[in-house]
Amino acid sequence: MGTADHNGREAARVLLAASDQIDLALRQSQPSVDALGEALQNLANVLAATGKDGRSEALIALRAEMLRAITCLQYHDRMTQHLSHVRDYLAGSAEQMSSREDRAEEQWTGLHNTLREKLLSETQRMRLGRIFPSELVAEDSSQARDARGASKPGDIDLF
């Protein structure tokens, strides 16, 4: 077994380990986020029961805090989507590294393009452009977010 083969297998194991750790973090955070969502729903029910004419300063402050918490949940959802795409990219990279097909260059380009297309913001795409050759990202950077259209179903685009 050559050094290049060993290094390739080790790199693939590193990518799989990183992907697995991201997956674990995503799964471990979900119960807390679900509980927070349920608590917010309960708060919304309590607020609704107070009636529409509840104008006290305490109620107004409570409603404002609830909206703030919901916004924070939206940011968490966005982070979860981003990490899920990165996890999938790492897992795909590990598979690619362990394969020995002749179409390796084409497959790598497809893998990179898939990640680029799934990224949620221009900032994320620009950071990807720092790592990959400009020709990989040039096609995407010429298209503003508005020109690409609305977010995919399930995406929360706060910006």
Cβ within 8 Å of residue 44, ≥6 positions away: 66
- In terms of pLDDT, which residue wins out, 140 or 40? 40
Taking the CA atoms of residue 31, residue 82, residue 23 and residue 99 in that order, the dihedral angle to the nearest 10 degrees is 160
Identify whether the C-beta of residue 22 lies closer than 8 Å to the C-beta of residue 90. Answer: yes
pLDDT over 70 (residue 80): yes
Q: What is the mean pLDDT of residues 135-150?
A: 49
Q: What is the pLDDT of residues 21-69, one digit of tens each?
A: 899 888 888 898 888 888 888 888 877 777 666 567 878 788 888 888 8
Handedness of CA 122, 125, 130, 133 (dihedral sign): negative
Residue type, 65: E
- What b-and-e string marks burial along 92-104, b requiring 16 or more CB atoms within 10 Å of the CB? bbbebbeeeeeee
Instruction: Tell me the one-letter amino acid at 40.
Output: L
pLDDT at residue 129, rounded to an integer: 77
What is the Cα–Cα distance from 112 to 92, expressed in whole angstroms? Answer: 10
Supply the pLDDT for residue 84. 92
In angstroms, the CA 152 to CA 122 distance is: 15
Q: Helix, strand, coil % (nearest 5) of the chain?
A: 80, 0, 20
Task: Give tens-digit pLDDT for 87-129.
Answer: 998 888 888 887 766 677 777 778 888 888 888 888 888 877 7
pLDDT at 101: 66
